[in-house]
Structure 1
Amino acid sequence: MKGLVIRSPWIDHILAGKKTWEMRTRATSIRGRIALIKAGSGLIYGTAELVECKPALDLEQLRATQAFHAIPVSGIDDAFANRWTTPWVLHDVRRFARPVPYKHPSGAVTWVDLPTFQADPGWADSTPSVSVKEPPPARQPPSTGEHWRPQHRAEGPWVDIRLTEGNLRNNHFYLRTAESLLPSDCIGGSNKSDLGRAIRVTFEPGPSIECDVAGDKMILRARAQVRDFFERSGSRAGDMLRFMRVGEREFLVVRSEPA
């Protein structure tokens, strides 16, 4: 196994589930489970799956994806100037109940080879910092006036939603199956005189916005931005859309590959 050396506070944010993108100045070809090492400590604090590297972000993208990299707004310009713009995407973060020592090589390094290291399941906390379990299918009753088909209930951090012609025509998608992911106070009434408390939604591709959920239909009230996302992503009827929770009040909307 390889260990990635990460400075504080970034490793702390990763272990706490507050960020899933570790920002670096260049991409890496390494994939799979890696150890998470706190810089200067000589200790392994957990493990994670390094699943992909995204292309380097421009300044606007860096600002729009703050929910994923957790760089403070006040530090984003400096991060961009210093080229900390390439996201290394981490999934299934497992924090150890007690850090594990290792022998660090001399000098400053990014990666440490750990040829004999194997994470003992007993070292991990009882729950992972970030869970990416795919929720199993579940049944639910149909809603009046809506064509129903089985979808995934939200038992992990996301739910997959199949788009219909009606969704594309009316610039919305239903969040009924994602209700357990949403804070209850974000669900408002049927019109703008009865708004819920805003959540932050990032469309990929597209901008980050703040809006509430119209409770009568359980859709995002920001239909113009949903239409823009459909156009940018080339969404069609039958495509799967993934609605993912990435923070307490922060969500990501992307097209999902079919299961």
Structure 2
Amino acid sequence: MKENQEQIKVLAIKQPWASLIADGFKTLEVRSRNTNIRGPIAIYASRTKPKNSELEHYFTFMSGMLKPIPPLQQGQIIATAELVDSYPVGSSEAFRILAHNHHNPLSYYQDGLHFWELENVQKVEPVEFKFKGSIVWSKIDKSLLKVV
């Protein structure tokens, strides 16, 4: 890689949550821990197979949008976003109240969860990506991402 190429962090997110972020419906990513990372990130739709209950939840929500439901991409970077904040969920009541921002089933709540707040989401032309790095984060050359 050339020195002048800028890298961007890549966050692995399981489907259908990655698509809900890319489509602008999900602005809070639910995680088990805090992060100090801020700034631009790429959203990678991981290859991890979604549970049937997660797919049902997604299709129920999307069918209410009254437009065609796109196929769920996996193993690709599908969007960019700004990671602007991370904070504790705090309570099951807060989780319930903010459900329209995170779209996770209420049964997902457990003590110790954090919201990672995302803004300025932009879809990109899907980029096949072999995830390298920790389970959550990797990096990619920013010039490979083309906003659609």
- Check whether TM > 0.5: yes
Shift of 1:70: 1.1
Question: Which of 10, 13, 16 does residue 20 from structure 2 map onto?
Answer: 13
Q: Match for residue 187 of structure 1?
A: none
Shift of 1:56: 2.8
Equivalences, count = 115
Q: Match for residue 80 of structure 1?
A: 109
- Is 1:102 the counterpart of 2:125 in the alignment? no
The CA RMSD over aligned residues, in Å, is 1.9
Q: Match for residue 118 of structure 1?
A: 143
Residues 83-119 of structure 1 deviation map (CA, whole Å, 9 limit, x = unaligned): 57311000000101x301223227x7100122x3335
Distance 1:14 1:50, change over 3 A: same
Q: Match for residue 94 of structure 2?
A: 61
Q: Partners of 1:4 and 1:42 in 2: how far apart?
A: 12
Could you tell me the percent identity over the aligned residues? 31
Structure 1's unaligned 5+ residue stretches are 126-259
Q: Partners of 1:52 and 1:43 in 2: how far apart?
A: 24
Amino acid at match of 1:26: R
Structure 2's unaligned 5+ residue stretches are 1-7, 48-73
Q: Partners of 1:64 and 1:56 in 2: how far apart?
A: 11
Q: Please list every run of at least 4 consecutive aligned residues from structure 1 whose deviation after the TM superposition is greater than 3 angstroms.
A: none
Structure 1 length-normalised TM: 0.41
Amino acid at match of 1:118: S
Tell me, yes or no, if the aligned pair for 1:62 and 1:85 is still in contact at 8 Å.
Answer: no
Structure 2 length-normalised TM: 0.70
SS in 1 for 2:138: strand
Shift of 1:22: 0.5
Q: Partners of 1:109 and 1:117 in 2: how far apart?
A: 20
Q: Trace 1:159-198 onto structure 2 (pairs within 5 A).
A: none
Larger Rg: 1 or 2? 1
Q: Match for residue 255 of structure 1?
A: none
Q: Partners of 1:111 and 1:84 in 2: how far apart?
A: 20
Question: Which of 28, 41, 57 does residue 34 from structure 1 map onto?
Answer: 41
Amino acid at match of 2:113: T
Q: Partners of 1:119 and 1:58 in 2: how far apart?
A: 40
Amino acid at match of 1:19: K
Higher relative contact order (CA 8 A, sep 6+): 2
